A and B are shown apart, each in its own frame.
Chain A
Amino acid sequence: MSCRKDLAGQLAAAHERLGGARGKQYWRSLDELAETPAFMALVHNEFPSQASIWPDTLSRRKFLSLMAASLALGGIGGCSVKPAPTVNIVPYVKPPREIEPGEPLFFATSLTHAGSAVGVLVESHMGRPTKIEGNPDHPASRGATDVFGQAAILSLYDPDRSQTVAHLGQTRTWEDAEAALREALARQRDKRGRGLRILSETVVSPTLAAQRDELLAAFPDAHWHVYEPVNRDSMYTASDWAFGRQVDTHYDFTQADVVLALDADFMMSLPGHLRYVDDFLSRRRLRQHGGNAAKATMNRLYAVEPGVSCTGAKADHRLALRAGQIESFARAVATACGIESGGSVIGGSAAGNEKWLEAVAADLQAHRGRSLVLAGDRQPPAVHLLAHAINDRLGNVGKTVHYTDAWDAGRTERTASLKELAEALDRGDVELLVILGGNPVYNAPVDLALTEKMQKVPLRVHFGPYDDETARQCHWHLPEAHFLEAWSDARAYDGTQSIVQPLIEPLYQGRSAHELLTLLAGAEPTPGYETVRRRWRREATTEQAADFEAFWESVLHDGLLADSAQPRRSVTLADNWQRHLGAGKTTAEPAATELELVFEPDPTIYDGSYANNGWLQECPKPLTKLTWDNAAIMSPSTAEQLGLAHGGYAHGGEHGGYHMPVVELRLNSRSVRAPVWIMPGHAERSITVHLGHGRQQAGRVGGADGHTVGFNAYLLRTSEQPWFAPGLELVPTGETYLLAGTQQHHLMENRELVRSATLGEFRDHPDFAAEPERKQREEQTQRGSLAIATLYEGFNYEAPKHKWGMAIDLSACIGCNACVVACQAENNIPVVGKEQVAAGREMHWIRIDRYSTGTAEKPEEFYFQPVPCMHCENAPCEYVCPVEATVHSSEGLNDMVYNRCVGTRFCSNNCPYKVRRFNFFHYADYHTPTLRLQYNPDVTVRSRGVMEKCSYCVQRIRHASINADTEGRPIADGEILTACQAACPATAISFGDINDKASQVHAWKGQPLNYSLLADVNTLPRTTYLAAVRNPNGKLSEE
């Protein structure tokens, strides 16, 4: 769009100014700029002016200078002590349209994760993208985002992204690369591309798919392989077996009363999970029943899984089975549902769960057509097949389960495709290998020995965002542009066509895949914009084409093409489907004694592609609360048996560092060393490891030149057993390794922190949550105790216009951490690194506490409790501050004034919720120019020795109230969304004006479920919680 074009011009000019230098040089010159005396003085200024907070150099005025094409860090003088500072201020030469200085703009685009697109809105401050929100109109988002979406903005500014074309490590230009490629392609064209192989990740972009087909048309004998380490092979195999065609399975949780998840973490990992969470919870939100508890209904979720996933943690009943046992469990369910599936009992170590099984089967059958069985991508095809069969038998198909033609059908078998390539490489008949994205050298199945085989290829080209392990194995490395820098399009999980539009000119030399493909196709390199637009024009229906410009603008505005989802297709179960359950096609039940190794994509850095993202590395894993590492995760009793136990998980568990024993994991003659982590609730004799760690060439954050983060679990992963494997040997090494976790203690020590009840109990006593306080008050009045007496009269918050408050629904929270990262992005929260986290100094303003009931050895239920600042009306932090650095605003905000803080830390000591965070060191990054571009100009960047904490996103409150005021209208409810609230896929957070009787937060706080955390400390928190309610099966719960 025009404004961006103008900015493009500006930045182009910037590059000009830097002596036409780009890439590495460009960076050198930036560093030089960063070494200007003013800057150094500032960075090392130990005695700055009013406060040692660096005046946020990325504020509006600061950014002007940047946009105006000067990267000389103007305005830095703003912090010299005396005399009064002089600051540069730099206007545009020609004002770009649409940009209103100081006011943020939002653009709709989409980001691709795990093979499908999620629509997002990107906040741009004068051409500088700073924050990603979900796109409410997008079916895969509905306004929500996950940690990956929130953290994507950081990777845009990642200084470690590859900045230049490189040949054998030497800096080159695109022209050189083009020349080399043309020459090689010319040779291939003669032999119809026999020697040409292309390896890409899942092709999500229709335009790219079209370009692919054109390319293959031009080179008939060339091959295009697709590989991703985290793939859905077994699902597609199963759909082949079941229906004789490749279909995508979609679930409609809004229609399901009973859900059985077979190792399927649909809340966190399935494509479309954001949507699924919303749908699933739409059947559980008791708050929508208002006071009428008697009528309250909920769906019921059964989960069977080896490790503890968010889905399992939210389940009403969770059964911990080893991954290898789940198939036989599925068979048993099928049999119980009257399906001839062979093997009607749960064998081996799963014995003793018959009661559970019967209850589930009964419940499923009692809800024919309103039940749902899902199989996880980690499970073998047989389990998916059984799931299809059960859904079919229960008449769920077409009601809770829908099928669509697989997007890009026929190209879905990832591992097989890579195998082919490996063989071709081995045969040596590959002459030109182009790797489009992905990092196969790092994450390909180890048994394929891809790296060695690659060496036989005379010309290897890698196109990707990072100069990573794969790039190091290729002759040419071509930098790929970030999705916020390039034009493209993508398909959502349901096939909805979404647009990907850039918000900023590429910071480095990156180009988009589209541009590269035009090059491969031999055409003159055309801008991605043209390619994408051309295809959309081609695909446009007649009425769209009639006024294409308008159509195009609307697509850009919405970020998607409405109703472009794949059409549903009715499929019938092949009558001979059972034969696929025969021997060979199924996994053998692991022997009771042997250990099982289970692979899992990392909850925060996924398959390793996010390894260089500090926010994600430091984001605690939802259940283990580990940061900066992966580990061999096992249950307490398994650890006990292996002699690896430590008391940390149960009593006196510390948040911070823990020295854990290191073991060697041996699986068919391969081995890695891994620290142990103990996770109550994990299946016995089963050990989960997260993929994606141990990167060698990720970057300064994720591991490079010798230092790695965690261990590389891919080294044990084969194409035969991609997800779990029995026969694991575990050898203690006697060493220990420091792991940094933000929470270890699992139990609540019978303090009513998370208050919970079953649906039944809730129906009988809707106000159970307030019970403890009521009892206390009664006792006090009986004893005539003075506990309520005070010398002081309270403040009146009804008088001021607003009374800000927050309510958090614990029934809804799935513990996904989206709020944590969103807050980090919004509020310029620094990354402190593993050592500091281990020292108990992480900086997250909102954290998600994870508790379990029962015993640590045998936990029953898991609960998540997001804890931001409570903004207490009787704030204990305030009256102990000697300098009024934290006081109450008249609207009830617990203000934190960084520039007044002298750092006594008394407030944090006296905070019962421990939500305050302290800059023990100089955490904020003032050195890396690109990272400073990411900072939110409306939030002060805190410096050393200053306390900070959740502010209820006061910058958003101020912005909204000023806008409302200037427009002479009241602030509408929902006009202010805090960052955490906006990101939450579960809509578990509500924020607003409690004085506004019509506001959502007022309604929530009116719920009988509403209670205050640590109410007996009489802090009168403004953040309250809605108690968690579960819907267990009576048959199972009575024992």
Chain B
Amino acid sequence: MPQTALYGLLAEFVSAQQILDATRRAAEAGYREMDAYSPYPVEGLAAELGLRRSRIPSVVLFAGLIGAGVGFLMQFWSMAVDYPFNVGGRPYNSWPVFIPITFELLVLIASFATFLSMLFLNGLPHPHHPLFNVPEFSRASQDRFFLCIEATDPLFDPRGTAEFLERLGPHGSIIEVPHYQIVEAPPSGGELVTATAQGPKEAEA
């Protein structure tokens, strides 16, 4: 089985506390290319993964300013420059009445920026992912917690990392995450077969 076929190793946990501990110890062990998965945002988990404060706020601020600027200039230009009308004796540049739309556009653009930048930074939409090859992983969105150390990590070594994960006291055995879904089990692919075979059993448990 070639390395490239392996995305990473996946350990399953049942409680928030466990995943927090596991992540901390993995980080202490020097692993970086890893990610934790939980059915809801667990406080502190991101910190354990050593994530910095997101860049989204600055993006949103910038977008908001753009929106407001565009909003006001659009009104100023069309009312006072392009086709100025005497409307009810109001001056061409009646800036006070341009404020509402300026604000609305600020919010509109900023909101789009928020949502899109979140998607963009998270690399979403991303409907196909190696993790989805793992049947157990479907419980990440329900009631289980997972820690995945990815093959790209410099310290990664299939056997050693597996043993390391075993030491974290996961629920059930370590799961190898293949890059590509194996449809039928190859003759000499014990691990994988078990991995896929285990799935349903686990789910029923």
Contact = CB atoms under 8 A, between A and B. Distances in A.
Direct contact of A and B (CB under 8 A): yes
Top 5 closest A-B pairs, CB basis? A878-B88, A879-B88, A888-B86, A874-B89, A887-B85
A333 B88 CA distance: 58
Q: Which of B86, B91, B94 has most A Cβ within 10 Å?
A: B86
B96 interface: yes
B167 interface: no
A528 B179 CA distance: 107
Contacts of B87: 878-879, 881, 884, 887-888
A874 B94 CA distance: 14
Interface in A226-283: none
B93 to A, nearest CB: 10
B90 A879 contact: yes
A394 B22 CA distance: 125
Given A888-B85, A888-B89, 5 more contacts: A792-B91, A874-B89, A875-B89, A887-B87, A889-B86
A563 interface: no
A884 B83 CA distance: 11
A876 B87 CA distance: 9
A795 B86 contact: yes
Contacts of A876: 88
Contacts of A794: 89
Contact of A873 (B85, B89, B91, B94): B89
B96 A888 contact: no
A1020 B96 CA distance: 22
Interface in B57-102: 85-91, 94, 96-97
Contact of B90 (A792, A872, A877, A881): A792
A881 B88 CA distance: 10
A874 B85 contact: no
A887 B86 contact: yes
A851 B77 CA distance: 48
A874 B89 CA distance: 5
B86 A792 contact: no
B96 A791 contact: yes
A890 B86 contact: yes
A735 interface: no
Interface of A: 791-795, 872-879, 881, 884, 887-890, 1020
A788 to B, nearest CB: 14
Nearest to A892: B86
B84 to A, nearest CB: 10
B89 A1020 contact: yes
17 contacts: A792-B91, A792-B94, A793-B91, A795-B86, A872-B88, A872-B89, A873-B89, A874-B88, A874-B89, A875-B88, A879-B87, A879-B90, A879-B97, A881-B87, A884-B85, A888-B85, A888-B88
B82 to A, nearest CB: 12
Interface in B26-57: none
Contacts of B88: 872, 874-879, 888
A746 B87 CA distance: 34
B88 to A, nearest CB: 4
Q: Which of A794, A795, A872, A876 has most B Cβ within 10 Å?
A: A795
A294 B65 CA distance: 68
Contacts of B96: 791
A492 to B, nearest CB: 48
Interface size class of B (residues with CB under 8 A): 10 to 19
Nearest to A1018: B89
Contacts of A888: 85-89
A888 B88 CA distance: 7
A804 to B, nearest CB: 14
B97 to A, nearest CB: 8
Interface in B86-130: 86-91, 94, 96-97
A892 to B, nearest CB: 9
A889 B88 CA distance: 10
A884 to B, nearest CB: 6
Nearest to B79: A884
A791 B87 CA distance: 15
A875 B88 CA distance: 4
B78 to A, nearest CB: 10
Nearest to B96: A791
B116 to A, nearest CB: 30
Contacts of B90: 792, 879
B138 to A, nearest CB: 52
Contacts of B86: 795, 887-890
A143 to B, nearest CB: 35
Contacts of B85: 884, 887-888
A794 B91 CA distance: 7
A887 B97 CA distance: 17
Contacts of A872: 88-89
Nearest to A793: B91
Q: Which of A791, A794, A872 has most B Cβ within 10 Å?
A: A791
Nearest to A910: B88
A792 B90 CA distance: 7
Contacts of A791: 96
Contacts of A889: 86
Nearest to A791: B96
B126 to A, nearest CB: 43
A889 B90 CA distance: 13
Nearest to B83: A884
A876 B97 CA distance: 15
A794 to B, nearest CB: 6
A872 B87 CA distance: 11
Nearest to A873: B89
Contacts of A887: 85-87
Nearest to B89: A874
A877 B85 CA distance: 14
A606 B87 CA distance: 45
Nearest to B95: A791
A879 B87 CA distance: 6
Contacts of A879: 87-88, 90, 97
A795 B85 CA distance: 11
Contacts of A1020: 89
Nearest to B91: A792
A791 B93 CA distance: 11
A327 to B, nearest CB: 59
Nearest to B85: A887
A358 B91 CA distance: 62
Contacts of A875: 88-89
A596 to B, nearest CB: 54
B155 to A, nearest CB: 65
Contacts of B94: 792
A729 to B, nearest CB: 58
A794 B85 CA distance: 13
A88 B89 CA distance: 43
Contacts of A792: 89-91, 94
A64 B197 CA distance: 92
Contacts of A884: 85, 87
A1020 B86 CA distance: 14
Contacts of B91: 792-793
B177 to A, nearest CB: 58
A72 to B, nearest CB: 40
Contacts of A878: 87-88
Nearest to A878: B88
Q: Which of B87, B88, B94, B96 has most A Cβ within 10 Å?
A: B88
A875 B85 CA distance: 13
A866 B13 CA distance: 87
A793 B86 CA distance: 12
B157 to A, nearest CB: 69
A797 to B, nearest CB: 9
A873 B89 CA distance: 6
A784 to B, nearest CB: 23
A881 B90 CA distance: 13
A307 to B, nearest CB: 44
A874 B90 CA distance: 7
A881 B86 CA distance: 12
A877 B96 CA distance: 19
A875 B94 CA distance: 15
A1020 B90 CA distance: 13
